[in-house]
Amino acid sequence: MSIRIFGILNLGATDVALSADNLLEVTTLAGPLAPRPRMPEWALGSFALRGALIPTIDLSRLLGFDSSQSAQQTSDQIAIVSYRGGRFGLRVHHVRDVVSIESSDLQELGGAQGATDALTPHVFIHPDEQRPIHVLDMDALFALEGMLLSFDNTAQRGPSEAESSAVAELPDRHRALIMECGDLRFAVDTVVVREVLNSHALKEPSTRLPGYLGNQQVRKDIIPVFDPRVLMGYKATPPHNHQLVVLDSPQGRIALAITRLERMADYTEDNCRLLTADDQQGIRHVRGLLAPPGLKDALLLDHRSLFDSEALTGLAAIHASLSAVDEYHQTAQEWQRFAFMSYGAGGDFVTPLTQIDAVLPIPETITPLSDSGLFIGTFRHLDRTVSMVDLRALLGRDTQSPADQILVVSCGDCAVGFMIDSVRRIEYIDAPRASLVVRWRGDMRANVAPIEASKRLVGVGEGARLKLLAVLCLASLANLLTGRHAIACDLGVTPATPPAV
């Protein structure tokens, strides 16, 4: 399976992901934007960046998270993005994170062609925070009227000529992540960066080693965490592990504890100045002083020198071996990842992710139904008729506030759309496949309402990792509401179900 790297852009109200290959740098808006006439509200205008004109859009306004029409502040953060040989700017709050995602973990969302949600047709679950992150589709973005790109002279001559010219002029172009660890500002070449993630409580170090802070559990892997200040020859200070930058060494993964990730920037060998003899005293694993155009200086970590450290890479190899053994035992036990979607419907509820076909906003065009019982209307989605019902009403909850989203569930040749407040998160539970049991079923009682018959109490995991979940089986509920027989509660597998208790 292939790995894709995304930069996560914070828009204030939410986060949106963008392929890291397209993210060039983040800069602060130094002056007012020059507006263009007769443009939509999200097209803010252009500004000059190192002699180039950068057309800029407000991504939060475009996606409907910001309805203001006032002028933007000159201190706003602008993400500079590349697309088809050109550049443009996205107004954001900041670049929040950089993560690596398996391509198979990208989930596709449904939506009408040309709709706003077509701009973010894919979503993935943040590997550490377990919340959905929508992915911006660049092709869909540039299908909108009003989008512009800025081209330099090489880009205007066409893709093939521009590419050859860029190679001829910048044969040593690289990309680095610039970050801070306390008062130390340093950079790491992205060729060895696997991901950036938020730090959690570290486990105690397994041995004494300069700069070794402890271990971090990252999904199924145990990764040793180091203080970059100590590795580079500076004195140890109180830990600054607000975030972790995970590096891929030939022997295994290690992580550097940092205070914050500042930006991603391109550089060439000409931008890296060697340190003087006085500057090099006591300093280790540093290639030189990186000074990309328009940015503050940062020490460039020499990852090749760092990975030559036998103690450090030996520790990485040990933990990689332990992770491999642990993964083997999990495979031998037939472990499986169970997925559950958590959402609000006048309260907190959980449904197996496998039952949900799509998560949609409330459609603008609805065909109302009269004298049809609980169903209030229908709409078309992917050539199927979806019958709408307010799940909050079925649960006996307050329906005064309007619903925000619809969970679409298949039901034979049609579908039922359950109106809810909003999706909260998707939780993944790694557990032995055989550990899944249904402890209690609402349909074991006679003459109960469909909503009660669709409730389950599910146990997943073993021992200290056992989790009990109150599950609402929407697939069964959809069949009962449409006059069909209830079906088994699909949890992604066919578990053995013990008698009801």
Position 388 pLDDT exceeds 90: yes
Position 204 pLDDT exceeds 50: yes
Among 108-112, 302-306, 463-467, the least confident range: 108-112
Q: Which residues contact 147 (CB under 8 A, 6 or more apart)?
A: 43, 57, 88, 141
Would you list the domain boundaries of the chain? 3-169, 174-331, 336-481
The CA distance from 235 to 68, in Å, is 48
Q: How confident is the model at residue 486 (pLDDT cuts 50, 70, 90)?
A: low
The CA distance from 68 to 119, in Å, is 20
Give the per-residue pLDDT at 167.
Answer: 30
Q: How confident is the model at residue 106 (pLDDT cuts 50, 70, 90)?
A: confident
Element (H, E) at 116: none
Nearest to 186 by CA among 323, 39, 11, 306: 306
Give the per-residue pLDDT at 159.
Answer: 36
Nearest to 355 by CA among 187, 241, 263, 479: 479
Give the per-residue pLDDT at 6.
Answer: 84
CATH code of domain 174-331: 2.40.50.180
Residue 63, both tokens: 């996606």
Q: How confident is the model at residue 92 (pLDDT cuts 50, 70, 90)?
A: confident
Q: How confident is the model at residue 351 (pLDDT cuts 50, 70, 90)?
A: very high
Q: How confident is the model at residue 206 (pLDDT cuts 50, 70, 90)?
A: low
Position 406 pLDDT exceeds 90: yes
Among 34-43, 108-117, 193-202, 341-350, the least confident range: 108-117
Residues in the chain: 501
Position 75 pLDDT exceeds 50: yes
For the chain, what is the mean pLDDT? Answer: 78
* Strand-pair partners of 135: 17, 122
Distance of CA 451 to the CA centre of its chain: 33
CATH architecture of 3-169: Beta Barrel (2.40)
pLDDT in tens, 26-56: 787 777 788 877 778 888 888 888 778 888 9
What is the pTM for the complete model shown? 0.40
Give the per-residue pLDDT at 495.
Answer: 40
Position 417 pLDDT exceeds 90: yes
Give the per-residue pLDDT at 168.
Answer: 34
Position 85 pLDDT exceeds 50: yes
Residues of the chain with pLDDT > 70: what percent? 81
What mean pLDDT is predicted for residues 354-368?
Answer: 88
The answer to whether domain 3-169 and domain 336-481 are alike in fold is yes
Give the per-residue pLDDT at 41.
Answer: 83
Give the per-residue pLDDT at 171.
Answer: 43
Position 114 pLDDT exceeds 50: no
What mean pLDDT is predicted for residues 119-127?
Answer: 85
Answer whether 66's CB lies under 8 Å from 58's CB.
yes
Give the per-residue pLDDT at 69.
Answer: 61
Position 420 pLDDT exceeds 90: yes
Give the per-residue pLDDT at 163.
Answer: 33
Give the per-residue pLDDT at 192.
Answer: 85
In terms of C-beta density within 10 A (0-12 exposed, 13-18 middle, 19 or more buried), how is residue 421 classed? buried
Position 111 pLDDT exceeds 60: no
Residues of the chain with pLDDT > 90: what percent? 11
Give the per-residue pLDDT at 407.
Answer: 93
Calculate the CA dihedral of residues 285, 287, 288, 293 and round it to 10 degrees: -130
| DSSP secondary structure letter of residue 121 | -
Q: Which residues contact 172 (CB under 8 A, 6 or more apart)?
A: 268, 269, 270
What mean pLDDT is predicted for residues 199-220?
Answer: 79
Nearest to 257 by CA among 216, 307, 304: 216
The 3-state DSSP class for residue 477 equals helix
Position 480 pLDDT exceeds 70: yes
What mean pLDDT is predicted for residues 151-170?
Answer: 39
Position 123 pLDDT exceeds 70: yes
CATH architecture of 336-481: Beta Barrel (2.40)
- Better-scored residue on pLDDT, 198 or 450: 450
- Better-scored residue on pLDDT, 352 or 445: 352
Position 186 pLDDT exceeds 90: yes
CA angle 52, 73, 142 (to 5 degrees): 50
| Cβ burial 178-193 (10 Å sphere, 16+ → b, else e) | bbbbbebbbbbbbebb
Among 177-186, 257-266, 416-425, the least confident range: 257-266
What mean pLDDT is predicted for residues 466-494?
Answer: 75
Q: Which residue has the tokens 């332990």?
A: 322
